[in-house]
Structure 1
């Protein structure tokens, strides 16, 4: 999605996706519908490219069922528009303006659509800004009330629309600014770098800004009585780590974040964002809620504490999933397979033998279990966007690919991938093509067996190169 080094136009992403067989919307000249993601056909809008979100919220943890929001979505029309839509779950919408002029109409449709008719037609290529004022109860899919009394927003594949209106599809990335007002004594953590903090009338306003485009599902806000630690990477990048009041402060793993990021940079290329760190929150107030670690951009979210394996995984996502993002939800392997394999690379860095200790033991454990191999890594199926297969079968696939093409070609491919698609979007078929070009090998059989297949790969793909000797 970057027209220059730092941002490609979404029109380019849509054209590339269409060439690769991604189904996108056929939109009338005077309107726009959804992106038609194969798994989430109601998500997003194909008629415009968001360039920036300015999200302003006010929240009092004493009134957990109420959030006030004032969000401006700045975008560029990709076609002539008489109407458009945003994704927003719940809330009462008080007003909508387009370029400062009240919308001719706005209404709700389906589970999460806010339909907007501007006062005047938007010309193709025109920049415009939609401002939405809203209030009500944040939706529990993405907004979590914490046992400590605080709250945080995180979730995959959806979370953003639980607290602000968005073009909620990973193909439309945008820069992001957060202004959040809370009662004195509470702290707000967000993506990117902090801005000025101001206090008046018993309330404090925090400001955060992410200057690199993000996919909406990796935006976040966390509100609690945080303990905040600050340090820097060797290159000066700020590291901000916030601990909720009911989680242990682990300075050992906290310090290890810097070593992990340096190691991953040696494998994947330079760290892609202007800040790093972690948001460590406590458990949800709902005992049935699932604990969540998520790669929220620049500052991953962890539940219950910091753990080295989680830090490696979520930090790797800053390259695979956050900077180089996928085109649609069929491409989840581009995030999860690589982040999981980063854990293996970290173990290898600490002295582990991946061929025997990881690869052979896991293959032998599951070789007679058809269910382990039954999920495709690309296009795994609706409801399997982040299936366990992407983590375990996926990390095996990447190690087998490494042994097939050799270390030089493998790590060159990873570096080129994160460099060529930095701050943009791409699909798994594009990764397959890049791996073939870099290695100079015909990898169709390999990817058919490992990525598109649903059974145990044939021996020549299961035990290539040195893996055969390690048996």
Structure 2
């Protein structure tokens, strides 16, 4: 008996020694990253560095299957961790070993590895899955659109759940390799650069790569029949645009607008600094939606955007996001003004370039168009609340606030601010408070009262900027 007791003690000691010291006291990762607007979005306990997606898609049935390989580093000792995902999962491995998994809530995939993960440990998580994305609803909606000839993933603040598992919050940005196999004759469009295209046995495989950090909601996928064009900016950035071959009456206006991408990137670079990514462009699929989205390097445009004519203003808006929103991403969704206010202001800069109005004149039009009792002024652009996150006031009142800032600190400080902000926070995240601090540093002014009036007061400012 004594010998058996000693053997058991030795075995226990061996097990203890096998567990990394940093895994001692490990626990489950949080099911949310801590965003006050979306408490269940994102996850705690790890940081993703890379997504490697291997997908197969059949447009006729909208069936998507694949394996996502996620490289991450634990930021705490983990006995389990969550991924945000909505499709059916058949297998999960952590560092090549099968892991237990279960679903929880609307989009939580809870993974329990065979052994606890130590803080600072690098792990590789592989998730195998399948589903029909357009039939899957979470919180009452789907972010996947099944088109007449394929499918599209594009939405904000969430779209990844319908095509790959992720830590779905802008705080956790990563690089991407997206491999998509589709029936020959179809094309697959994604972010970054197309590294390869191969056809065999009636299927074509595309490999897209995004090397710069990218938020999950900015990842996009489109499959269908596209006409693809290529050009370059003055600095040599490749521009890849794609147009559904079934855009009907919107086709000519879409092309006339989006084909000016290189020109608009060059123009905006004069205000915001060098373009931050290794490719640019956009795509216009055959979808019924009425919004566009700044999906990184490959902007999603709804055909309806061009239903009333050529619309380069929306192209300027979405391309401005490549600096303000994609390069420098918000730290929490309440900071949405940093994205939409500046992209809207970029439209006014482009309007001035096109001789259709100055930022000062356009700001005045917005200010005068809304009387003091208009609900427009009740929305605080600096913290609009999740219900008003994409309200017109965030865009338009937000842009007026930027013109007011320009009038307050002067052109010299303002134009320097526009360039320094993306340079200072390149490929990272920031808050409105960070922006205010930089504006105060460059201007030498205390801007507390200014930001309170224009971003955090639910009332029309008494004085128009520049008056």
**Does 2:295 match 1:291?**
no
The size of the alignment, in residue pairs, is 427
Deviation track 1:94-132 (CA, whole Å, cap 9, x = no partner) reads: 1000011111x1100000000001111111111111100
What secondary structure sits across from 2:149 in the alignment?
coil
Q: What corresponds to 2:146 in structure 1?
A: 145
* Structure 2 CA distance for partners of 1:452 and 1:241, relative to 1, 3 Å: same
Equivalent residue runs for 1:294-373 within 5 Å: 294-304=293-303, 305=306, 307-354=311-358, 357-373=361-377
Query: Within 5 A, what are the aligned runs for 1:42-441?
Result: 42-64=40-62, 66-89=63-86, 91-103=87-99, 105-138=100-133, 139=136, 141-146=142-147, 148-247=148-247, 248-249=251-252, 250-284=254-288, 290-304=289-303, 305=306, 307-354=311-358, 357-441=361-445
User: Moved runs in structure 1, 4+ residues, more than 6 A?
Assistant: none
Q: What do residues 365-398 of structure 1 show as CA deviations (whole Å, max 9, x unaligned)?
A: 2133331111111221122222211111001000
Question: What displacement does 1:30 show?
Answer: 1.9
For each residue in 1:17-46, what CA deviation from the matched residue of structure 2 results, as whole angstroms up to 9, or x when unmatched?
xxxxxxxxxxx8422112121011011112
Q: Find the aligned partners of 2:346 and 2:202 in 1 and give their Cα distance.
A: 45
Structure 2 distance, partners of 1:153, 1:51, is 21
More moved, 132-141 vs 151-160: 132-141
1:30 maps to what in 2? 27
The Cα RMSD (Å) is 1.4
CA gap 1:123/1:328 in 2 versus in 1, 3 angstroms: same
Check whether the contact 2:144–2:159 (CA below 8 A) recurs between aligned residues. yes
1:353 to partner: Cα distance: 4.7
Asked whether the equivalents of residues 77 and 119 of structure 2 are also in contact (C-alpha less than 8 Å), the reply is yes
* Higher RCO structure, 1 or 2 (CA under 8 Å, sep 6+): 1
CA distance in 1, matches of 2:388, 2:53: 31
- Using structure 1 for the length normalisation, give the TM-score: 0.88
Shift of 1:136: 1.2
Task: Give the Cα separation in 2 of the matches to 1:151 and 1:457.
Answer: 45
Distance in structure 1 (CA, Å) of the matches to 2:330 and 2:26: 27
Give the direction of change, closer, same or farther, for the CA distance of 1:189–1:416 in structure 2 (3 Å limit): same
Deviation at 1:168, TM superposition (A): 0.5
Instruction: State the distance in 2 between where 1:443 and 1:299 align.
Output: 36
Q: CA deviation at 1:251?
A: 4.5
Residues 199-255 of structure 1, C-alpha deviation per residue, up to 9 Å, x if partnerless? 111111111000001110010011011111111112221111101011215553344
Q: Aligned partners of 1:255 and 1:92: how far apart in 2?
A: 39
| CA shift digits 1:49-71 (9 cap, x unpaired) | 1000111111111112x210210
Residue 355 of structure 1 and its aligned partner are, at CA, apart by 6.0
Q: Is the alpha carbon distance of 1:442 and 1:94 closer, same or farther for their aligned partners in structure 2, counting shifts above 3 Å?
A: same
- Structure 1 residues 283 and 255, CA gap change in structure 2 (3 angstroms): closer
Distance 2:29 2:258 in 1: 45
Unaligned runs of 5+ in 2: 1-24
Q: Do the aligned partners of residues 379 and 346 (structure 1) sit closer, same or farther apart at CA in structure 2, a change above 3 Å counting?
A: same
8 A Cα contact 1:449 1:458, kept in partner: no
The answer to whether the 8 Å contact 2:349/2:359 transfers is: no
User: Partners in 2 of 1:68 and 1:337 — Cα distance?
Assistant: 38
Shifted more, 376-385 versus 423-432: the winner is: 376-385
* Matching residue of 1:20: none
Deviates most, 243-252 or 113-122: 243-252
2-structure distance, mates of 1:292, 1:443: 34
Report the structure number with the largest CA radius of gyration.
2
Provide the C-alpha distance between the structure 2 equivalents of 1:330 and 1:449, rounded to a whole number of angstroms: 17
Partner Cα distance (1:291, 1:428) in 2: 28
Distance 2:215 2:389 in 1: 16
State how far apart, in whole Å, the 1-side matches of 2:220 and 2:275 are.
20
